[in-house]
Structure 1
Amino acid sequence: MTVEPSVSRRSTLRATTAATGAACALALAGCAPSASDIKKKGRTPAEIPTGGTPVQVGKVSELPVGGTAAATAGDVEVMLFRPDETTVLAYTDICTHAGCKVAPDGADFKCPCHSSVFKGSDGTVVSGPAKEALPRYAAAIDGEWITVSV
Structure 2
Amino acid sequence: MTFDPTLTRRNALRATTAATGAACALALVGCTPSGAASPGTGSVPSEIPTGGTPYQVGKVSELPVGSTAAGTANGVDVILFRPDETTVLAYTDICTHAGCKVAPNGEDFKCPCHGSLFKGADGTVISGPAKAALPRFSAAIDGEWITVSM
Normalising by structure 1, what TM-score? 0.85
Residues 19/52 of structure 1: CA separation in 2 closer, same or farther (3 Å cut): farther
Once the 2 structures are TM-superposed, how far is the Cα of residue 4 of structure 1 from its aligned partner?
A: 4.3
In 2, distance between residues paired with 1:123 and 1:79? Answer: 10
The Cα RMSD (Å) is 2.3
Long gaps (5+) in structure 1: none
In 2, distance between residues paired with 1:3 and 1:88? Answer: 78
Once the 2 structures are TM-superposed, how far is the Cα of residue 16 of structure 1 from its aligned partner?
A: 2.4
Corresponding residue of 1:101: 101
Q: Is the 8 A contact 2:33 2:113 kept in 1?
A: no
Corresponding residue of 1:49: 49
Once the 2 structures are TM-superposed, how far is the Cα of residue 29 of structure 1 from its aligned partner?
A: 6.4
Q: Is the 8 A contact 1:32 1:98 kept in 2?
A: no
In 2, distance between residues paired with 1:83 and 1:111? Answer: 21
Trace 1:60-139 onto structure 2 (pairs within 5 A).
60-139=60-139
From the two aligned structures, give the one with the greater helix fraction.
Answer: 1
The amino acid that maps onto 1:123 is G
Residues 3/20 of structure 1: CA separation in 2 closer, same or farther (3 Å cut): closer
Question: Cα deviations across residues 46-89 of structure 1 (Å, max 9, x unaligned)?
Answer: 11112221000011111011100000112100000000111000
The amino acid that maps onto 2:53 is T
Q: What secondary structure does 2:83 align onto?
A: strand
In 2, distance between residues paired with 1:65 and 1:144? Answer: 14
Once the 2 structures are TM-superposed, how far is the Cα of residue 3 of structure 1 from its aligned partner?
A: 7.5
User: Percentage identity across aligned positions?
Assistant: 76
Aligned residues: 145
Normalising by structure 2, what TM-score? 0.85
